[in-house]
Amino acid sequence: MSRFELSILGCGSAFPTTRHLPSAQALAHNGRVYLIDCGEGTQLQYRRSGLKLGRLQHIFISHLHGDHCLGLFGLLSTLGLYERGGEIVIHAPADALRIFPPILESFCHDLPFEVRINPIPTNHSEVIYDDKAVTVRTLPLKHRMPTAGFLFEEKEASRHLLGDMADFYQIPHYRRAAIKAGEDFVLPDGTVVPNDRLTRAAEPPCRYAYCSDTMYNEKLIPLIEGVDLLYHEATYDEANAAMARKVYHSTARQAAEIARAAGVKRLMLGHFSSRYDDETPLLREAQEVFPDTILANEGLKYSF
């Protein structure tokens, strides 16, 4: 059973094309949707993805380039047309505290909910969000302005109680939480049934790393080791490596080198330059280094 479902809403770079939209992703988990970046057009793509806007409460903005956040104000206005209270939290680099409020004031006044901006660190990894199912940490990226990636980690689940064993030993409901947490069960006659006869280990927690925009940055490697999916920007191919370095972006090969060094399970490339009419060469370039690579595309839903 998959735990995360990632919907790619936009995976182009700043220069828009008819093929790709600016950056945005919706990560669904356990009934919640986390929005990652919010380029122009995100609200429409979100709607097209079939996800419910009512499930969205936390928005994670990697950096304050327009192609990663200019869809925010239209999206919030639209959310305001729904009857919902509470708060929407925008996790974003600290400059958002200065830049967003006047725009919200002009275009998103009279919202029925609070908008809270949570300033996030961009030069080290830190937990910025935590709910009962998921923890989100920043990943320090190297771009032309303060930029953070995001690591989404499922919480360690409790052990899975085997239904037939629970029935066989007639384990009362009030004991089950403790057994899932690892305790043995003692029968009325004093016999100890060891925990590993009653339960099996939960699936290991699932992890997703979003790294865009960034130049090649080895400091990421230990932070994203073994993640189930790494989304890494691959704005250019190796033929444009000098250009990539100049504008603080990565090549597809560099993304694959990070994926290989971190031993991730799968790499997804995105944030494609408008110069490519077809990203297959980027895919091939990455697969030479890290075979388990796929291309992002608008409309793609990826479950893991």
Catalytic residues: 67
Please measure the distance between the N-terminal and C-terminal CA atoms of the chain and give it in whole angstroms. 8
Q: In the set 32, 57, 78, 287, which binds its own copies (CB under 8 A)? A: 78
Give helix then strand counts, H and E, for the chain: 11, 18
Residue 61: closest CA among 107, 16, 99, 5: 99
Structure token digits, residue 22: 């600016």
Of 73 and 208, the one with the shorter C-beta distance to its own copies is 73
Sheet holding 24-29, edge to edge: 114-120, 87-93, 56-60, 32-38, 24-29, 4-10, 301-303
* Residue listed under structure tokens 């901006």: 117
Give least dist CB 101 to its own copies, A.
Answer: 10
200: tokens are: 């099996």
Give the nearer residue to its own copies in terms of CB position, either 82 or 168.
Answer: 82
- Which residues, 101 to 120, sit near its own copies by CB under 8 A? 102-103, 106-108
| Shortest Å distance, C-beta 38 to its own copies | 11
CB 272 within 8 A of CB 235: yes
**In contact, 215 and 250? CB cutoff 8 Å:** yes
Span 20-49, contacts to its own copies by CB under 8 A: 21-22, 39-41, 43-44, 47-48
Determine how many CB atoms are found less than 10 A away from the CB of residue 15: 11
Query: Does 261 help bind its own copies (rule: CB under 8 A)?
Result: no
In angstroms, give the least distance from the CB of 273 to its own copies: 11
Total number of residues that touch its own copies (CB under 8 A): 31
Single residue of 16, 119, 121, 205 touching its own copies by CB under 8 A: 16
Residues of the shown chain interacting with its own copies in the complex, contacts defined by CB under 8 A? 14-18, 21-22, 39-41, 43-44, 47-48, 64-67, 70-71, 73-74, 77-78, 81, 99, 102-103, 106-108
